[in-house]
Amino acid sequence: MAFRPRWTEEADSKYRELQEAATASLLNRQKNRKAKAARAEGLFKQIEKCVRPLLDNPRHPGLNTHEYDSIEHPYDKKSKVFEAYVQNQTPGAYRLFWGYGPQKGEITIIAVTPHPRGG
């Protein structure tokens, strides 16, 4: 079953910020005729590569999805929040925090952020 995404304002804002940074980096790289992608481009590509399988199958093994209890679900305080890996074995590795709902067939993306310390 494919899920429909719903983004919190915070997650949407961060996603757009990272997308704009990747686009600016790409345009600059093309202007300067450089072949190697910058960090911003790679990070955004990894985020996209995390979101697509999450919506197709939240239990996809490559996401390393697990429950995360230090963040509250924005729509239902009793619902679980999960963490999916955008990056792994990277300093400040990015994570995507999400939960089911609020409607059937939806996944709410709560945050896209470097991994919080101590969580």
Identify the pLDDT of residue 32: 84
The values of phi and psi at residue 51, to 5°, are -65, -45
Give me the domain span that covers residue 67. 4-114
Query: Across residues 62-78, what is the average pLDDT?
Result: 92
The pLDDT tens digits for 86-114 are 998 888 899 999 999 999 999 999 999 99
Total of domains in the chain: 1
CATH number, domain of 87, equals 3.30.2310.20
Distances in Å between the alpha carbon of 15 and those of 10, 32, 85, 95?
A: 9, 26, 15, 12
Read off the pTM: 0.88
Q: Does an H or E element contain 4, and which?
A: strand 4-7
**pLDDT value of position 118:** 42
| Any domain includes 34 | yes
Q: Is residue 102 assigned to a domain?
A: yes
Residue 119 located in a structural domain: no
- What pLDDT, on the 0 to 100 scale, is given for residue 3? 96
